[in-house]
Structure 1
C-alpha cells in the first residue's frame, strides 16, 4: 500500500532490483488508481508484469492508455515506452541475465521494428543464447536493409562491429555473412580494425572449415576498402588456389610479388606464385623462371643477414623450399641453400624465445641413467596431418602397434579441425594422450615441454610453418623428422629417419641432421581399404584388349621431361592408352599433355583425363583399370606408389638422388620387386615398353606383389614399429651417454 507519495517510486525501483515483481505490480496498480492519467505508470506496470512472466498482462497494461490516443500522441507514448524498457534491457545485459534481456528486446522490437541498435543487440543475444532459429531467420530483422538505408551513430557503429565479429566467429558459414560484411564496410573508419576481424574469420572458414571459396569472397570484400593490403592478398591467393580458381590464384600471387618490398616478403610471394603455377600444372616455362628467381632471392636474403624480421615473416621462410625438388633432382646444391635458410630460421626463432624468457632447459642428462632402466620413454608425435591426409593414412600402423609397456605415447594435433573426419577420430582415440591444439607455436612447445617428452617426432617437416617453429624451439631433448617430407634442415632436429635405399650413400654430406637408417624400410603399412571401382574400360571407350597406362599425381609433380618419356612409351606400345588423373587446372593440364603428345608423335585420342573421386577407397579400387602405372620424376609418388603396389599393379619409376626421387625405389625393393626400377631416362622408357608388350611379365610382377603381402617388409606394420622403437631406444641411450 502506498503510504508515502514521494517515496513509493524509489520503493518500486528497489523491488525491480530485488526481483520482487509482485510487490512492484501492486505499487503501480495503486498509483494508477490514484492517478489514472499518469501514463508512465502503465509503462512500468507492464514491465513488472513482463518480468513476472505474464506477457499478456504486460501488453494489456501498455495498450490501455494507447487505445484512445491519436496518431501524434501514440508516437510520443510509444517512444516513452521504448525509453522505459531499453534501460532495463541494458541493465540485464550488464548482469549477464541474457534471457531476460532477450525477452525485453523482443518487445522493444515490436514497439519499434526499425531501431537498428535494438536489432543488433537482439543478434548479439541470439549468439550468446545459441538461439539458432533466430539466427536462421536473420533476414527477418532487416539489419542489412537498415544498414544500407540509415546513418548510424558512433555508439551503434561500435555495436555493429562487435556483432559482426561475434557473428563471424559463431556462424562462419551462415549464408548472410557476405551481405552483412558488405553492408558493414562503409562504417569502418579504421581499415586495420576491419582486417583484424575479417582475416581470422577467413582463415577459419578457408582452412579449418575447408571452404576456401567462401573465405576468398570474404577477403575480396575487404580489398574493396584496402586494395593494396598485401597480407590480405597473400591469403586470398592461397584461398583461390585451394578453391581451384587457378588463374585468379596465379594473378593474385603475381600482384603480391609486385607489391612486396622486403626480401622475406618476396620469398613468400614467389612461393605463392609457384604454388599456384604448380597446382594448376602445365605452366612449365613460368615455373622454371619463378624457381630461378626464388633461388636468387634466397641467396640475396642469406647475404644480407642479419636483418630484423617480425615473427610472421620469419615463419614464412622455410615453406617456399618445398617447390624446388619438384623441379630438379639436385639435392647437394638444393640443401646447401635450404640448410642455410633453415639455420637463419632457427636463429630467429631462438632470438624470439630468448627475448620472451621462454627457454626450454632439459633435465640434467647425467642423472637420467639412474632411472632409465624402468622408465617408459615418452614419445611425442606432432603434425597437422592426423586426419584424412597421406601422412594420416600411412602413420597409423605405428600408433596401432606401439608397445605401451615400454613407451608412453603423446599426440599433438596442430590446428585441430572440428570436422567429420574418420581418420582424425581414429588418431584421437589411438594416439595415446592426445592434445587438440591450435596454431600458436609457443603454446604447443610449452605443452610438449610440460609433458616432459623425451623424443619428439615431426611428421610435417617444412610443410607447416607452425610445426617448424615448434621444432626450432627445441621443447624435447631429442627431436626427429619422419615421413611428412624430406628433412627440414633445422639445427634443433637431431635425426632424420631413412632406410638403406631412400637416400644415397653420400647423403650425410649435405644433411645437417644425423641420418638414421632403419634396417629395411622407413615406412610400412599393413594395407589399405579398397572400395568398389567406378571406372570401366567401355565407359572410357577403351578396348578390353588394350594396354592401359596410368599416372595419378597432382599438377605439382607434372614435369615435361618425364611426360616425354611417358609419351615415348605409349608410342612404342601398340593399342595402348594413357589415363591421367590428379588435381590440376583441367584445360591447362590437357594442353600440357596434348602438346607433348604431338611433339612425340602420339595421337591425342589415346589420352584420357579422369575425374577426381572423393573416396580414397574408391580411388584405390579404380587403380585396377591400369595394366602399368608410370611414376613421376624428379618427385616420385609416395602414398600413390604404396597404393599401386598394394593393388598388385606393375610400376615404372626413375631413381634419382634426392629423397623425393627415391621413394618408389625403396618401396619396390621392400615389396620384393625390381622389375620397373630405372636408373636412367632410357631405362624408364625401356621398362615401360617392356611391361606394356609382355603380358606374361606383367602377370608375373602382379603375382609377386600379391604374394609379398604376406612376406615383404613394406606390408608388415608390426615389424616396422619394432624397428622404429628400437631406433628410439638407441637414440635415448645415446643421449644418456653423451
Structure 2
C-alpha cells in the first residue's frame, strides 16, 4: 500500500512539473525537480530534467554543471547509458519546440544536444535546417557543424536527408563545403529518381538564377558518379560546362550523350549540345560544319517521321534545336522552311499536352474600344543582356495613357541586377518567375490569359524554350516577336516586327508570321552609357600610327570564310593590326585565327586577342581604340554594331539575305551611312582596305555619325516608340475586324 501511494505521489508531482513546463513556468518546475533530487539523489533522470529547465531559463552554465555532476561518478557503461537518456530528454523537448514553431529555443536545445552527443546525425541535420529557418546560415555553417565529415559511414533516413539537402541547396551559396555535403548525401541515398528530383532543379537554379555554372556542373558530376549513364543529367552537364566556358568538356559530354541514346528527339538535343560547344569555343569550324550537316539531316528525319507520344521535356528541347544553323550559311529559305516545320510539330505536341490537362485558352472579344490596350512583354532578357540594353527606349517612351504594360520576367534573377530592377519599375503589373519546372509554361500562360493581355510581345524567339512553350499555347489573342532573334516559326505567333531593310522583299514567302515593317527602323536607342577607357595601344604593343581593325563578337559568329576576308584586308593595309574580342575558348580561337592568317600570308604577330572588360560601360569606352570595325557574316553584330556606331567608329558589313545578315545594314542605313555596306565578298574587302588606308574618309564617317545622333532614326527612341505603338494599334484593329467577321459568319451558319 505504501509503494502504491509513493508511485501516485511521484506521478502527481511530475505531472505538475510538466504543466509548469508547458506554461513556461520553468522556475516552479525546477523547484519540484530540486526537491525530488533531495529526496532521491540517485535518480539520474531528475538531473536531466532539472538541467533542461535551467537551460530554458538561460542558465546554460548551471545546466551543464547539473548534467556533469550527475555523470561524474559513473562507470563508462553507465555514463554511456546516461548520455543516451539525457539526449532523449533534449531531443523530445526540441521536437516539442519545433512543433510549436519556437525555432530559437529548439536551436539552443539542439546545440547542447550536439555537445552531449555529437554523433547524432539527425540532430546535426535538424540544426542545419533551423539555422536556415532562423537566418543564421552562413558559408561556414556546414564546416562548423562538421557535416561533410559527419555523413561518412552513418545510417540516416534517406527521405529526411533529401529534404534537408533540398532546403540547403535552395538557400545556400555555392561553396566547397556545400558540394562536399551534397556528395555525402548522394552517397547515402539509393533512390536515384528521388535524388534527381532534388538535385536537378537545384543545379539549374545555380547555373541560371545564381550564375554559377561551374558549381552546377560539379553538383551534376557528383550525381553521375553513382548514375553515370543518366541521359538527363548528361544533357544539363553539357549546358553547365558551356555556361562555365569549359567548352571542351561541354563537347565531350554532349558526344557521350549522343552515343548513349537512339531516341530521335534526344539524339537531336545531344547533337545540338555538341554544336553549341563547338561554336562557343570559336575555333572548331570544320568539326562544327560536319555536326551542322548531321543536325540538319536529323531535323529533316524528325519532320518526315513526326514521332508521337514524345515526352513534353523532349519537345521543349526541340524548340531551339535549329538555332545554330543560321551561323553556317545565309540561305534563309532553306533553314527557315525547316525551322517552321519543326516548330509547327512542337506546337502541336505542346497544345495536345495542354489539352490533356484541360487547358485551352479561348479569347473572347472584350471591350470593343478599351481605354488602354494591354501589352505584355515576355522575356528572360529584361536585365543585363544585349536585349535588355536595346529594349529600354520602347519601355521608357511608351504612352501610358494608351497602353497598360505587363512584364513577365522569366528566370528572374534574385541577385542584384540594376538593369533588371529598372525594367521592373517600368511596368504597372509585374510577374517574376524565378524557378522553372514541369507545368511552368501552363502556369504563366494561364496568368497571361487571366490578365486579359491584348498583345503579347515575345523578346526571346527560340533563344529560350520556355518562351516558345508559353507562346505555343496562344494565351493572348495577338502575339508578335520583336528584337530577341529572328522569328521563331511558331504558328501561334501572328507577327514578326521588321523594317524596310532588315529583311528582303521576298521574305514573306518563307515566314509563317506576317511581317510588319516599321517605316524606318525596327530598333532605335537614345544612346549608351560609356565609361572610362582602360585599353591603350601601348598596352597591346601597337604603334600610335598603326591602323587598328576590331571585331568584337562571340565565338559563334566566327565563320571561316569571313575570317579569310578579314585577313585579306589586313594583308592589304600596311602597318595594321587586328583586335579580336568576345566570348570563346582562348586557345582554340587563337589557333583558328593563326591558321587562317598563315594561309592568307599574314603574320600572326599582327593579331591581338582581348580579354573581357570589367563592365559593359568600359567595353564601350575601349571600342575607341579601333579605327575600323569589321563585322561578322552570315551573322552580323547587333548590339555591338550599335555600340560601335555610337562611338563614331566606321564599320564594314557584308549584307546577306537572312535577318541575322542584315542587322548592321539596317543600322548603318538608319544612321544615315552608305559607306561600309558591302553586297559581295569583294566589296567587303574593298571597303575594309579603303577605310584602313583613307584617314580622311574615316574622319568624314566619324563626323557623319556624330551629327546623326541629333537627326537619324537610329538614335530617336521616342519616334521609334510611336511607330511601334501605331503597329500595335493596327494589329489590334486587324484582330477585331477578323474576329467580328468570324462571329458574323458563325451567326449566319
TM-score greater than 0.5 by the shorter chain: yes
Secondary structure of the 1:83 match is helix
Give the Cα separation in 2 of the matches to 1:651 and 1:728: 33
Counterpart for residue 95 of structure 2: 90
Cα distance in 1 for residues equivalent to 2:611 and 2:136: 41
Name 1:398's counterpart in structure 2: 394
Moved more, 30-39 or 554-563: 30-39
Match of 2:745 in 1: none
* Correspondences of 1:308-387 after superposition (within 5 Å): 308-363=309-364, 365=365, 368-369=367-368, 371-372=369-370, 375-387=371-383
| Secondary structure at 1:578 match in 2 | strand
Does residue 148 of structure 2 align to residue 144 of structure 1?
Answer: yes
Give the counterpart of 1:415 among 411, 414, 419. Answer: 411
Post-superposition CA distance 1:479-515 (Å, at most 9, x none): 0000000000111111000000000001000001000
Give per-residue Cα distances to partners, 1:589-639, cap 9 Å, x unaligned: 111111111111112211111111131111111111111111100000000
Once the two structures are TM-superposed, the CA of residue 6 in structure 1 deviates from its matched residue by 4.2
1:672: how far off?
0.3
> Over residues 402-435 of structure 1, what are the superposed CA-to-partner deviations in whole Å (9 max), with x where a residue is unaligned?
0001111111100101122111111011233221
1:608 counterpart SS class: strand
- DSSP-derived class of the 1:506 partner: helix
Are the aligned partners of 1:676 and 1:687 in contact in 2 as well (CA < 8 Å)?
A: yes
> Which residue of 1 is the match for residue 201 of structure 2?
200
- Contact kept, 8 Å, 2:142 with 2:178, in 1: the verdict is no
Answering whether residue 118 of structure 2 is matched by residue 113 of structure 1, we say yes
TM superposition shift of 1:720: 0.2
The answer for the alignment partner of 1:625 in structure 2 is 625
2:13 counterpart residue number: 8
Matches within 5 A, 1:158-557: 158-363=159-364, 365=365, 368-369=367-368, 371-372=369-370, 375-438=371-434, 439=436, 440-557=440-557
Moved more, 282-291 or 483-492: 282-291
Distance 1:64 1:694 in 2: 95
**d(CA) in 2 for partners of 1:542, 1:47:** 76
Residue 193 of structure 1 deviates from its aligned partner by 1.8
In the alignment, the residues of structure 1 paired with residue 419 and residue 150 of structure 2 have an alpha-carbon distance, to the nearest angstrom, of 46
1:710 alignment partner in structure 2: 710
How many angstroms apart in 1 are the aligned matches of 2:50 and 2:610? 73
Which range is displaced more, 43-52 or 704-713?
A: 43-52
SS at match of 1:132: coil
Query: Does structure 2 retain, via aligned residues, the 8 Å contact 1:172–1:201?
Result: no
2-side partners of 1:594 and 1:84: how far apart? 73
Check whether the contact 1:105–1:122 (CA below 8 A) recurs between aligned residues.
yes
**Residue 720 (str. 1) matches residue 724 (str. 2):** no
Identify which range, 537-546 or 495-504, moves more after superposition: 537-546
Query: Under a length normalisation based on structure 1, what TM-score does the superposition of the two structures give?
Result: 0.96
Shift of 1:120: 1.7
**Match of residue 20 from structure 1:** 25
Distance 1:215 1:130 in 2: 24
Answer yes or no: is the 8 Å Cα contact 1:410–1:433 preserved in 2: yes
* 1:166-196, Cα deviation, whole Å (9 max, x unpaired): 1111114233111112222321111222222
Deviation of 1:703 (Å): 0.7
Distance 2:9 2:589 in 1: 90
Distance in 2 separating the partners of 1:632 and 1:611: 19
CA shift in 2, pair 1:70/1:545, >3 Å: same
Question: Secondary structure of 2:322's match?
Answer: helix
Task: Tell me how far apart the structure 1 counterparts of residues 406 and 219 of structure 2 sit (CA, whole Å).
Answer: 37
Tell me, in whole angstroms, the C-alpha distance in 2 between the residues paired with 1:279 and 1:736.
45
1:24, CA displacement in angstroms?
2.1
Instruction: Output the CA distance in 2 between the equivalents of 1:175 and 1:249.
Output: 22
Rounded to whole Å, the distance in 1 between the matches of 2:187 and 2:433 is 36
CA distance in 1 between counterparts of 2:451 and 2:71 reads 69
1:540–1:59 distance in 2 versus 1, CA, 3 Å: closer
What SS does the corresponding residue of 1:247 show, helix, strand or coil? helix
Deviation of 1:451 (Å): 1.2
Shift of 1:91: 2.4
- Deviations along 1:316-356, one digit per CA (max 9) or x if unpaired, are 11212110111100001111111011111111111011111
More displaced stretch, 704-713 vs 41-50 = 41-50
- Residues 646 and 705, structure 1, Cα contact 8 Å, conserved in 2: yes
User: Counterparts of 2:342 and 2:189 in 1: how far apart (Å)?
Assistant: 40
Is the 2:47–2:66 contact (alpha carbons within 8 Å) kept by the matching residues of 1? yes
Q: Distance in 1 between matches of 2:557 and 2:622?
A: 20
Q: Write the deviation string for residues 59-116 of structure 1: whole angstroms up to 9, x where unpaired.
A: 3433343344344433332222222222222222233222222122112112122222
Residue pair 2:124, 2:145 contacting (<8 A) in 1 also:
yes
| 2:576 is the counterpart of 1:576 | yes
Report whether the alignment pairs 1:591 with 2:591: yes
1:281 deviates by: 0.8
Shift of 1:724: 0.3
Change (3 A) 1:119 1:497: same
- Larger displacement relative to structure 2 (110-119 or 668-677): 110-119
Per-residue deviation, 1:572: 1.1
Structure 1 portions without partners, runs of 5+? none
**Closer, same or farther in 2 for the Cα pair 1:322/1:527, shift >3 Å?**
same
User: Which stretch has the larger CA shift, 491-500 or 101-110?
Assistant: 101-110
1:76: which partner in 2?
Answer: 81
Match of 2:413, SS? coil
Per the TM alignment, residue 14 of structure 1 is displaced from its structure 2 partner at its CA by 3.3
Q: Distance in 1 between matches of 2:575 and 2:148?
A: 63
Whether contact under 8 Å (2:455, 2:480) holds in the other structure is yes
Determine if contact 1:652/1:677 at 8 Å carries over to the other structure: yes
SS of corresponding position for 2:391: helix
CA deviation string 1:623-656 (max 9, x = no partner)? 1111111110000000011011111111111110
Q: Which residue of 1 aligns with 2:56?
A: 51
Cα distance change, pair 56–540 in 1 and its aligned pair in 2 (3 A): closer
Shift of residue 29 of structure 1? 2.5
> Structure 2 unaligned runs (5+)?
1-5, 739-749
Q: Is the 8 A contact 1:368 1:736 kept in 2?
A: no
Between 1:230-239 and 1:48-57, the stretch displaced more is 48-57
* TM-superposed deviation, 1:456: 0.4
Instruction: Tell me the alpha carbon deviations over residues 431-450 of structure 1, each in whole angstroms, 9 at most, x when there is no partner.
Output: 33221113321111111111
Separation of aligned partners in 2, 1:396 and 1:216: 33
Is the alpha carbon distance of 1:419 and 1:137 closer, same or farther for their aligned partners in structure 2, counting shifts above 3 Å? closer
